[in-house]
Amino acid sequence: MERRKMKYRYLFFWIFMLFITLPGLASVSIQEEKQDGEPVVVIENNYYRTVLAPTIARMPLSYYFKLTEHEQFIHPEEKIKKDRASFHYFGGIIDSIPSVSGIEDWDRKGYLWRVPWKSKIGKGRGWVKYTGEAVFNYKDPVSNEEYKLKFTKIITGYEGTSCLRMDYRIENIGDNQAKFMFSAHSRTGIGGSWNTGDYFWAPGEKCRFYYSDNYPAYKDTKEGAWLPWPLKEATDFVLKEDKHQDIFVFLPSNWCVVGDNNTKETLFFVSSPIKIGKRKDMMKMGIFMATGGYVVEPCLTYYIGYQDWKKPEATIGLNSGEVCAFTLYMTAYKGVTKEQVQNLKGANSNCLLLEPPLLRRKENKDILELKVVVPGEGRLFLEKIRMKRKSTIATIEMEAGINEVEKEFPMLKKGEELLLLWMDNSGKSKLAVLKSNEKNDN
């Protein structure tokens, strides 16, 4: 009898241990609080704590990365306050529409910080969600026509990952075709501040020049010129307090990253395709790199200021009732170097393939070699594909950081392929489809 009791105790113990160590069971919370007397929404899990401030249209206002114990945004003002007459930077992401740089000081960073927001929060299994909505009118600075837009932003946090999802929806609810610019003006300070060693990166062979100041090499460069990429002045941040220099360039890309090579932490911005009415477009990842700081600007066009409004390609045009929609993911990683970032062939919203996966054959087995970095807990699925049918042959649990995999399994037959699929609470990412290398036997 006593042996049976001990047996059940051991069984319950191991069931309990299995339960608390399974990926995806870490908690995520959302709650309404007050900060400096202003209402805020706080989303928190084991990897980050982010604060959303609807009354000042900073969503997020802050993002504290727990794995490095660093805030990832710059906050020029010590306290926040609702002030719809005077612009304040405050920090965080400033969603700027219908332009970024205004004609007057009061007109900077668009209209969202000057209008009231409707907000609600929700939660489900493994996720929490904030939904904010604002409606505003504005006049075309050239034609003087009046436009009316409805701006909706949904921010979703998940259990067990640093990934934050931001869904954007811009709807023309006026009678005329509405023109606008947009930027997710992001005042990042990776590692907690602006320090020499910080960097920006986006993939591409050329960048589009917007403007520069006090760089003799670009004195005669015209706006809109395509320059070879990378440009050291735009990728490497060097803090200089005695001399001001800056440069602003764009790269058409669905991802970009800012990092601190001293602390080996990175913040990735990954965009979905942009739907503009019935057509699709790609995000323009902008970087304003100055000697005193830097700002990341995921934009819908290659322009941000009212002074460019007359240029046909400077604005997005939505007919009455049309919608512009896209998703922007923000994901933090620990342990990734600048060299690894610059060698990336692509970036998913919830994982990075650091090296091309290798599938080699040894005797009657296939061996997968893989190096991947993930932002939290999840599973890698190895799925065999034959005649379009899939079957899972192995699963590998992973934790936040760099994971090196060497997995042996029965060799693939002729005509079969291996699908590598990463899955966490934020979704699935297809990493690669491999064929067995029959000649590689070592």
Domains of the chain plus CATH, in order, are 28-342 (2.70.98.10), 352-435 (2.60.40.730)
> Which stretches does DSSP call E strand in 254-322?
255-260, 265-271, 274-276, 279-281, 284-290, 294-299, 316-318
- Position 414 scores a pLDDT of 87
Is omega for the bond preceding 60 within 30 degrees of 0, making it cis? Answer: yes
Nearest Cα to 284, choosing from 317, 257, 326, 255? Answer: 255
- Position 362 scores a pLDDT of 87
- Position 26 scores a pLDDT of 66
At 208, is the secondary structure helix, strand, or coil? Answer: strand
List, run by run, the mean pLDDT of 10-residue segments along the chain (442 residues): 46 40 68 97 99 97 98 94 89 95 73 96 98 96 95 99 99 97 96 93 98 96 98 97 94 98 97 98 98 97 93 95 99 98 96 94 91 98 92 96 95 92 97 75 48
- Position 15 scores a pLDDT of 41
Q: Residue 91 CB: number of other CB atoms within 10 A? A: 22
Sole residue written with tokens 């007057």 = 104
Q: Are 249 and 209 in contact (CB under 8 A)?
A: yes
Nearest Cα to 171, choosing from 325, 323, 326, 327? Answer: 323
- Position 353 scores a pLDDT of 96
Q: Are 112 and 97 in contact (CB under 8 A)?
A: yes
H or E, element range at 341 = helix 338-342
Q: Are 45 and 66 in contact (CB under 8 A)?
A: no
- Position 210 scores a pLDDT of 98
Torsions phi, psi for 425 (to 5 deg): -70, -15
- Position 104 scores a pLDDT of 66
